[in-house]
Amino acid sequence: MTDARSMRSGSEILRDLDDASKSCPVCGNELERRPNENSFHWGRRKFCSRSCAAKTGGGAERMRQKWSEVPVTERFWAKVDKTGDCWVWTASTRGSGGYGQFRIGKRQVFAHRVAYELEIGPIPEGLVIDHLCRNHLCVNPAHLEPVTERENILRGEAPSAQAARSTRCQRGHLFPERDADGKRQCTVCRNQKQRERRGRKNRA
């Protein structure tokens, strides 16, 4: 049976932990208590840094360090499903468009841009990558094409892009060629509006 006089209170144990000095078992440096670190976490901490903790052979930090040492090409394609015609990105995505994202160092970059540069080469300055398959998660370089921002928008499905691709006006008249500013207007509808305007003036 334990002598009640030999039992120590929790506050006494925590006070001893607060006063105790510790050294890192990996590098031998003395551990410094961090600001706002409570007694519980100070008592459990064994290493001076995450790098020293990783050298002991366990923990999530070591797994992160091991994964960061894997070549970018191997790490990237491990996140891709190549079973179909589209090579589908299976990791995290970004934005409402659902584009894949991939971390290189401390930067998050679009996965389809990384795939193009890994397999084909640098993306020409001023161009963006368009998905020919219209699947934003696809990273198959055969489905990717560098185009201008304007061309990429015109290939989309937004109302403005659909209007830009149309060859007839709302009344079914063929559009003429674009002017020097890239604009176009239905001449039949314009002439009809001008006639209606003149008729209203004559009747006034």
Q: What is the mean pLDDT of residues 140-146?
A: 96
- Rounded percentage of the chain residues whose pLDDT exceeds 90: 27
Range 114-120, long-range pairs (CB < 8 A, 24+ positions)? 114/72, 114/76, 114/139, 115/76, 115/80, 115/87, 115/139, 115/140, 115/141, 115/144, 116/141, 116/144, 116/146, 118/72, 118/73, 118/76, 120/144
Confidence of residue 1 (pLDDT cuts 50, 70, 90): very low
Higher-scoring residue by pLDDT: 129, 106: 129
> Among 12-16, 162-166, 173-177, which is the least confidently predicted range?
12-16
Pick the residue with more confidence: 183 or 72? 72
Would you call 132 helix, strand, or coil by DSSP? coil
Least confident of 6-15, 34-43, 64-73, 142-151: 6-15
C-alpha gyration radius of the chain: 33
Confidence band of 96 (pLDDT split at 50, 70, 90): low
Question: Which tens digit of pLDDT belongs to each residue from 40-88?
Answer: 666 667 777 777 766 665 555 445 555 566 788 888 999 999 999 999 9
Nearest partner of 30 among 18, 17, 20, 15, judged by Cα: 20
**Arithmetic mean of pLDDT, 93-120:** 89
Q: What are the φ and ψ backbone dihedral angles of 130, each rounded to 5 degrees?
A: -105, 140
Q: Flag whether pLDDT at 193 surpasses 70.
A: yes
Token pair listed for 29: 């440096």
Residue 138 forms beta bridges with which residues? 88
Residues facing 174 on adjacent strands: 168
pLDDT of residue 129: 95
